[in-house]
Structure 1
């Protein structure tokens, strides 16, 4: 069951890059990059243009309508031309979290999505400023309606603990100061406003510096060395799949600081390092990654079904479970294997696979698996032989096997 087109090692290396920098690899994309190698695939992913979504229809009674926010986003995730930018939109959604479970309208959630999309590969400081006074975030973290005389501390605490400098880098007094300076914002009828009388009028001390308003707070936090380290370490794990060593965090934090909080140089430093190339299948694919890739392999185009499948596996776009985002779970519950395999039943691509000269090779290629383990390759060969009298049944079995194989469920 050999690979089709291009050297096995090159295709496997390119597929690794695409698993980490896109929601694929989608059928045919790795083959289209043959000759560029892994380094060229990185450059392709970095150079891919940011995709622009069409404004969705907002229906509060429908979570995943054909033209709603979820469908619009999933459509961009599965676009073969999507590169690192699209992957970073998802990363920031799990970092600067807000959920429609609490946020009043889809319009507010979509506006925040546009903010994350605008700054996904831009400047972290600008992103932090924009999202901190975003309407969805103000509602999600109880910043809306907070008054300086008796501020709600939730927004300020999470801004420090989860978004910028991390736990243990501040005191309760700092939380109180941040909350006081961040007060005065409102969200009424979907519009963000500021009530001067409810805001702060004099400097308070935050981490040894005076702050008066929310933007002072964001600047103080971004200036802290802990911020560069916190963001660099989290982004490294997302892209590499392994925790960075203290030395590596120091190196990446230095890149980030010297770039004045520009995100792209940090991403480039991570992707071009040798540690990225060798960290193959070091973490589970997140449900949103697995579903998007699996639907492409199966030839399924159904955003509502995709959303339902992601949700069943533990992730729902626009619905993170809490302010910390999705937990660092393994995502590989054995009980979900049957549900994953069921996608193969009546998949639109079955006839194409069945008609292939080598159905096993065709399935592996569609799934972007160019380096199957001997165990997986043997299982596929045995299945193809056992079901050889019914080509479509054999194709279905091969597809189900590949969708649940470690080579596909790991990133």
Structure 2
């Protein structure tokens, strides 16, 4: 994993954040948490969080995510090919439906949704390469089940996942014809990091231990272990010799390279949830203590996440607005923070347009996943972000949901009739940090004022009950989506 070595501005520690007069518990910190640990929150959810201590808030998010049961299995979840009536039609339909279900889960499940999606970009598979709806469901179910659980067992279960066995060629890895693909990615991408603590010989020996998962009762059924295709010879893995099999490999890997795994995973979590910039000070003061927590907890993830999310470091002002939103962030955060309507038709559109902007759900570009942050932004994807928000708002306006836009402005401004104040609170609701200059707010205020003559504002006649108010608020919301500050979380 490539590490950005530029110095970090955030010098706060892992000590628990305790609000004070100079560092208060406020709306921006709560929104920061919801944007990073989920996909935004309604104003009511923000208000509810402010009534808690930061510790209570984080405990509630983590414990709530851990207690959430996996999404119910569809009736086709364990189909083999022969179970389909019309395979081509039904498989396409089920895959489409499950992608929608995943989108609906991710946008609404807060930390569980965020983490399930995070790990889909860690233990990567591609539906484009293995287009089979039951395996798609089974893979996603593991993301939900293990995303806050034990990382060692998460790693163990992913190596025998049907979709993974096909995607990274484990299905082809036999004693007579070894395939190194999964062993290589297990070390390079899933546990240790590229070139970190393993050799080519370790890959070769590990690939032998991974043999045997080469059969199914029929295409599309569960892939099972067959000792007839397993290499039962002696293997030396990280200095340990034996006739090792799959479970042995995972056990040895975590016993012999636990420190490296813990550092690699904690760095990846840090870069995603806090900042893509890491320097030697961050490594020493933040990453290494988190890694020790992971080791002390026997690779259980929840204690690490709680330690990080409760820290002064996570809540530091310099942690706000330093991560570029992904395409999914852009639309999902927007929907949640504005309490706007969506249904399966719109969710399909959200997923489609996110794919056009470089983040197609279930289809990262390759086994290394989306590289995130600055890779999300270029001239075409930036304009795509603007257009997506504009199309969405136009849809709401054309389909009877325009009152929702005014309701948001009314709620945030306490039904003010001051366009400058309305603009300020609506803008600040969607950005992590206030705009750079007062002139930026003035420009946005002029957008809200639209073509209404100035005298109606001067004498207080205009208000959010005017027939033009939905259009005016919609223009402001479109304007906000084009702000550089809106692209950050």
Q: After TM superposition, is the score higher than 0.5?
A: yes
DSSP-derived class of the 1:17 partner: helix
**Shift, 1:374, TM fit:** 4.0
Do the aligned partners of 2:431 and 2:485 also contact (CA within 8 Å) in 1?
no
- Of stretches 190-199 and 335-344 in structure 1, the one that deviates more from structure 2 is 335-344
CA displacement, residues 8-67 of structure 1 (integer Å, 9 cap, x when unaligned):
9611111011111111123532122222254443233223242532334764324874xx
Q: 1:141 aligns with which of 148, 161, 168?
A: 168
DSSP-derived class of the 1:226 partner: helix
**Shift, 1:380, TM fit:** 2.1
For the pair shown, the structure with the greater C-alpha radius of gyration is 2
Do the aligned partners of 1:30 and 1:368 also contact (CA within 8 Å) in 2?
no
Q: 1:386 aligns with which of 450, 456, 467?
A: 450
Give the 3 Å change call, closer, same or farther, for CA 133–146 of structure 1 in structure 2.
same
Do the aligned partners of 1:10 and 1:38 also contact (CA within 8 Å) in 2?
no
In 1, Cα distance between equivalents of 2:107 and 2:431: 14
- Of stretches 300-309 and 259-268 in structure 1, the one that deviates more from structure 2 is 300-309
What runs of 5+ residues in structure 1 fail to find an aligned partner?
Answer: 1-6
In 2, Cα distance between equivalents of 1:83 and 1:133: 28
| Superposition map of 1:1-400 within 5 A | 10-36=26-52, 38-48=54-64, 49-56=67-74, 59-62=90-93, 65=96, 68-79=97-108, 82-168=109-195, 169-186=197-214, 188=216, 189-190=219-220, 191-210=222-241, 212-223=244-255, 224=257, 225-244=259-278, 245-247=282-284, 248-278=286-316, 279-296=319-336, 297=338, 298-301=340-343, 302-330=346-374, 331-335=376-380, 336-337=382-383, 338-342=386-390, 343-347=392-396, 349-354=401-406, 356=410, 357-358=415-416, 360=423, 363-364=426-427, 367=430, 371-374=434-437, 376-388=440-452, 390-400=468-478
- Of stretches 48-57 and 171-180 in structure 1, the one that deviates more from structure 2 is 48-57
Do the aligned partners of 2:324 and 2:488 also contact (CA within 8 Å) in 1?
yes
What's 1:4 paired with? none
DSSP-derived class of the 2:140 partner: helix
In 1, Cα distance between equivalents of 2:49 and 2:433: 14
In 2, Cα distance between equivalents of 1:64 and 1:10: 42
Do the aligned partners of 1:51 and 1:76 also contact (CA within 8 Å) in 2?
no
What's 2:12 paired with? none
Give the 3 Å change call, closer, same or farther, for CA 231–165 of structure 1 in structure 2.
same
Give the 3 Å change call, closer, same or farther, for CA 44–334 of structure 1 in structure 2.
farther
Give the 3 Å change call, closer, same or farther, for CA 370–150 of structure 1 in structure 2.
closer
